[in-house]
Amino acid sequence: MNIRIQHSEAVVIGAGFAGLAAATRLSDLGLSVTVIEKHATAGGRARMFESDGFKFDMGPSWYWMPDVFEQFFNTAGESVDKYLDLIRLDPSYKVWFDDGPVNIPASLGRVRALFESIEPGSGPAFDRFMKEAGEKYRLGMAEFVWKPGNSIWEFAKPEALFSAMNMSMFSSLSRHIRNHFSHPKIIQLLEFPVLFLGSRPENSPALYSLMNYADTALGTWYPMGGMYEIVRSMEMLARKKGVRFVLDTEVTGIVAKEGQVSNVTFTGGSIECDVVIAGADYHHVEQRLLPTPWRLYDNEYWESRKMSPGALIYYIGVDKRLPNLEHHNLFFDVPFEAHANAIYDNPGWPLDPLFYVAAPSKTDPSVAPEGCENLFILVPLAAGLQPHGNEYEVLFDNVISRLEQAVGSDIRSSIVFKRSYAHKDFQDDYNAFRGNAYGLANTMNQTAFMKPKMKSKLPGLFYAGQLTTPGPGVPPSLISGQVAAEEAFQWTSKTKISKTKKTEVAAL
């Protein structure tokens, strides 16, 4: 691609959520900003595609932590309501157990009543659990999340550490939940957010019960038009702020001169810059785009990382409406242990996996032709698992049979569109390390300052996105982009001052 821009104070690599957030913030702070994105559209893992009248969000489907989206738009002097038509889903989601489904209502009081009905007497434990989860959420947001994670000292505020210890934030989530509840259904309900996104609850710090607060108290929302509306809005806002986008162009290298960032090269050219924020996958940027002397981590480091489960996704168009499904549906109708073992301990193909189905057409008529259903089916798999034969088809058969049984209706003969997407697609499309869907597992020793650092060894290069702090998910990526932008801005301000001083001294 022939690009006429020769210099930009800041270059952002990748137009995923982190890149978009970083670019908007940097532009607001007064820098000229150019985003270079491999694909022809922004959004990264949250891109969308249209086919046969269906509109499929390719990645995220849960709009959680609305406060983070509000913060992002407010910081840019805008309001989220001006850009997104948000509705709160009620029920928040539906969980299918072996003895039938349970709707999770969209209010704390009704969830408490549900817990009481499952485990009589659990109401007071629910109050204590949610109160603590709320405190963790507030403490986490105030003291732990909005940090670059470059050093342990960022987290060394004694009061915050004391509160964290007091709330046993660093013990296991599994133990924490079992200290409050004993019914397996309640345990599964509370463990699901980390299970699908991170690691075994035994290995996740209890800090992540803040996700239960996010889920139950802050709610599950949906932007009408689909999750891609968030991307569209953020791109629109970035352009309004003057950010330039170079799409359909892959970055091929980051060049250092006189000990700091000087250029970014891409297919067909090069652009000079003072600072770079890499929103593409951290591993790809360090191992493929950065000269070896400037790498903080080697192959051994990356090979020793624990990744979140991989994702096998089926995008399905069905030419009839399916009763009984809600917008979000979790299938916990079989025991999890064998599937967990196939994900975390002995990587392999599960026979009877747990799975998730989004049916956004239940809420939004714009994502499917009239009278049809839009389904997004996700099966968590061991990270990096590659098929050798017809494994995708075998799993699809299993999942569709269980889905048909649940909704009490034939689905197979009504499928009018089908596409699968997994490990290798993540690798090819996003340069994703080991085909990761949502980054590193949320284990204790991969949290906060123990994640890959935002600040590179190469002065002027910063990382943002799901592989650095605070971690995977849309809201964390928005936070990551903004924190990286602040760090990058401070760095450019300091170097400008020192350059001015040098010039003044030279002039004397």
Ligand X SMILES: Cc1cc2nc3c(=O)[nH]c(=O)nc-3n(C[C@H](O)[C@H](O)[C@H](O)COP(=O)(O)OP(=O)(O)OC[C@H]3O[C@@H](n4cnc5c(N)ncnc54)[C@H](O)[C@@H]3O)c2cc1C
| Stretch 409-448: interaction string toward ligand X, x if CB under 6 A | ---------------------xx-----xx----------
- Which of 33, 36, 130, 254 binds ligand X (CB under 6 A)? It is 36
Q: Is 466 in the site for ligand X (CB under 6 A)?
A: yes
Q: Are 494 and 504 in contact (CB under 8 A)?
A: no
Q: Is 280 in the site for ligand X (CB under 6 A)?
A: yes
- Min. distance of Cβ 293 from ligand X in angstroms? 20
Q: Is 251 in the site for ligand X (CB under 6 A)?
A: yes
Q: Is 474 in the site for ligand X (CB under 6 A)?
A: yes
Q: Are 466 and 473 in contact (CB under 8 A)?
A: yes
Stretch that binds ligand X, among 12-20, 23-31, 315-323, 343-351 (CB under 6 A): 12-20
Q: Are 172 and 194 in contact (CB under 8 A)?
A: no
Stretch that binds ligand X, among 86-94, 129-137, 445-453, 474-482 (CB under 6 A): 474-482
Quick one: 260 or 265, whose CB is closer to ligand X?
A: 265
For residue 94, give both structure tokens.
Answer: 């539906």
Quick one: 127 or 248, whose CB is closer to ligand X?
A: 248
* CA dihedral sign, ordered 235, 239, 243, 247: positive
- Which of 134, 465, 484, 492 binds ligand X (CB under 6 A)? It is 465
CA dist., res. 43 & res. 58, Å (int) = 10
- Which of 5, 39, 321, 363 binds ligand X (CB under 6 A)? It is 39
Q: Give CA 333 to chain center in angstroms.
A: 26
- Min. distance of Cβ 464 from ligand X in angstroms? 7
Stretch that binds ligand X, among 42-50, 139-147, 342-350, 405-413 (CB under 6 A): 42-50
CA dist., res. 96 & res. 120, Å (int) = 20
Tokens 């959004």 sit at which residue? 43
User: What are the DSSP calls for 111-146, one per residue?
Assistant: HHHHHHHHSTT-HHHHHHHHHHHHHHHHHIIIIIIS
95-129 burial string, b = 16+ CB within 10 Å, else e? bbbeeebbebbbebeebbebbeeebeebeebbeeb
Phi and psi at 96, nearest 5°, equal -100, 110
Q: 307 to 346, contacts with ligand X by CB under 6 A? A: 311, 313
- Which of 10, 23, 48, 62 binds ligand X (CB under 6 A)? It is 62
CA dist., res. 18 & res. 20, Å (int) = 6
- In terms of Cα–Cα distance, which of 451, 443, 476, 464 is closest to 198? 443
- Which of 11, 12, 13, 372 binds ligand X (CB under 6 A)? It is 13
Quick one: 226 or 279, whose CB is closer to ligand X?
A: 279
- In terms of Cα–Cα distance, which of 26, 38, 149 is closest to 460? 26
Q: Is 59 in the site for ligand X (CB under 6 A)?
A: yes
Cα separations in angstroms, 141 against 17, 67, 71, 147, 479: 19, 11, 12, 10, 10
Q: 149 to 208, contacts with ligand X by CB under 6 A? A: none
- Which of 10, 12, 31, 45 binds ligand X (CB under 6 A)? It is 45
Q: Residue 177, CB half-sphere, CA atoms under 13 Å: how many? A: 28
Tokens 């200290």 sit at which residue? 179
Q: Is 272 in the site for ligand X (CB under 6 A)?
A: no
Stretch that binds ligand X, among 14-22, 131-139, 379-387, 395-403 (CB under 6 A): 14-22
Tokens 């690691």 sit at which residue? 199
- Min. distance of Cβ 336 from ligand X in angstroms? 19
Chain contacts with ligand X (rule: CB under 6 A): 13-19, 36-39, 44-46, 59-62, 64, 250-251, 279-280, 284, 311, 313, 378, 430-431, 437-438, 465-466, 472-475, 477
